[in-house]
Structure 1
Amino acid sequence: MPPTVKKVLHWLVWGFLIYAIITNPDRAADIVRAIWDIISQGVLNIGRFFSSIVNG
């Protein structure tokens, strides 16, 4: 993909994010919270996996 197309897509994504936050901040916060929960649970599960491997 040419750099110009990447730059345009990058600005479109950021513009959409800003639009979504301005028009519906509560929903945007819920989405961020849900993404954070998914990431944190994933990290915890990876930690549990390696802990079970080490502890046998």
Structure 2
Amino acid sequence: MPVFLKKLLLWGFVAFLIYFMAFRPDGAAQMFKGIGAALMAIAQGLGDFLTGMMT
């Protein structure tokens, strides 16, 4: 993928996030809470897996 296209997509994504947070703050907060919960579940699962391997 050309560098210009990557930069364009990145800036478009950043602009969308800013727009989303400015005009739908409740929806943005719920989305970030969901992402955080998913990351925590992944980390917990990985921790449980590693603990199970050690015992």
Q: Distance in 2 between the 1:42 and 1:3 partners?
A: 32
Identity %: 31
Residue by residue, what CA displacement relative to the aligned partner does 1:20-39 show, whole Å, maximum 9, x if unpaired?
A: 00010011000000000000
Residue by residue, what CA displacement relative to the aligned partner does 1:8-54 show, whole Å, maximum 9, x if unpaired?
A: 11110000000000010011000000000000111011101110111
Whether 1:19 and 2:19 are equivalent positions in the alignment is yes
How many corresponding residue pairs? Answer: 55
Structure 1 unmatched runs, 5+:
none
Structure 2 unmatched runs, 5+:
none
Whether 1:53 and 2:53 are equivalent positions in the alignment is yes
Structure 1 runs of 4+ off > 2 angstroms?
none
Amino acid at match of 1:5: L
TM-score, reference length from structure 2:
0.94
TM-score, reference length from structure 1:
0.93
- Over aligned residues, Cα RMSD in angstroms? 0.6
